[in-house]
C-alpha cells in the first residue's frame, strides 16, 4: 500500500520586513512541519496547502518544491505501507496563526537562526534536509 502526504516550510516577512520561519510542535513534543495525508481528488500541492491551513490557520502560496521523504512503516490493518511525504516552500499570505489542538501542541514564528537551532536540537532527523532545502531556496545559511 502507498500513502502520500504533503506539507511545507512556511515563511513570512513580519511588519519590520524580517524573514521568519514557522515551526510546529507536534503531539509528541517534537519540532516539526505542518503536513498530512492526501485526500481523494486532491493534488499533492492542494494537500500541502490544506494541511497548512488546518494545522496552523495560515493560508499560503507554494513558491517551490523542496524535496520528498520516503520511508516504510508497518500498519496494523494494511501491513507494510510505503510512505511518501512531499514538502514545499510556502509563503504565508493570509489567515491567522492558530494551532489545531487535536493534531499539534503549538505553532510559532522564529528568526531563521533560531528555527534552524530548534530543528537541529529537537526536530526529526529526516526533516533536517527539508528545512535546509527551504533555507537554500530563501538564500539563507544553515550554520
Exposure of 41 in the CB half-sphere (CA atoms within 13 A):
0
In terms of Cβ atoms closer than 10 Å to its own Cβ (0-12, 13-18, 19+), residue 134 is buried
What's the structural domain count of the chain?
1
pLDDT on residue 13 = 94
What is the residue whose three cell numbers read 485526500?
39
Domain hosting 79: range is 2-137
Domain presence at residue 131: yes
56, 22 in Cβ contact below 8 A? yes
Instruction: Supply the CATH number for residue 111's domain.
Output: 3.90.79.10
What's the confidence (pLDDT) of residue 69?
94
pLDDT of residue 101: 76
How many Å apart are CA 39 and CA 46, to the nearest integer?
9
In a domain, 58, yes or no: yes
20 Cβ neighbours under 8 A, 6+ residues apart: 11, 12, 13, 14, 109, 110, 111, 112, 115
Give the integer Cα–Cα distance in Å for 107 and 96: 11
3-state secondary structure of 18: coil
Residue 141: pLDDT over 90: no
The answer to whether residue 143 is domain-embedded is no
Return mean pLDDT, the chain. Answer: 94
> How many Cβ atoms are within 10 Å of 58's Cβ, its own excluded?
22
pLDDT in tens, 34-82: 999 999 999 999 999 999 999 999 999 999 999 999 999 999 998 999 9
| Confidence (pLDDT) at 39 | 96
Amino acid 34: pLDDT: 95
DSSP string, 21-77: EEEEEETTS-EE--EEEPPTT--HHHHHHHHHHHHHSEEEEEEEEEEEEEEEEEETT
Summarised one tens digit per residue, pLDDT across range 88-109 is: 999 999 998 888 877 788 999 9
pLDDT of residue 27: 87
pLDDT (0 to 100) of residue 97 = 83
The pLDDT, as a whole number, for residue 102 is: 79
pLDDT at 98: 85
- Residue 49 domain flag: yes
36: closest CA among 19, 53, 20?
Answer: 53
pTM recorded for the entire structure = 0.93
Amino acid at each position: 500500500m502507498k500513502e502520500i502526504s504533503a506539507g511545507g516550510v512556511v515563511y513570512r516577512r513580519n511588519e519590520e520586513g524580517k524573514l521568519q520561519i514557522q515551526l510546529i510542535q507536534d503531539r509528541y513534543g517534537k519540532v516539526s512541519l505542518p503536513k498530512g495525508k492526501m485526500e481523494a481528488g486532491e493534488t499533492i500541492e492542494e494537500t500541502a496547502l490544506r494541511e497548512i491551513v488546518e494545522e496552523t490557520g495560515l493560508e499560503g502560496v507554494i513558491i517551490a518544491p523542496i524535496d520528498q521523504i520516503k520511508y516504510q512503516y508497518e500498519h496494523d490493518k494494511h501491513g507494510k505501507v510505503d510512505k511518501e511525504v512531499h514538502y514545499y516552500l510556502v509563503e504565508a499570505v493570509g489567515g491567522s496563526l492558530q494551532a489545531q489542538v487535536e493534531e499539534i501542541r503549538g505553532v510559532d514564528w522564529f528568526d531563521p537562526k533560531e528555527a534552524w537551532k530548534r530543528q537541529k536540537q529537537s526536530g526529526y532527523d529526516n526533516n533536517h534536509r527539508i528545512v535546509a532545502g527551504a533555507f537554500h531556496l530563501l538564500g539563507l545559511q544553515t550554520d
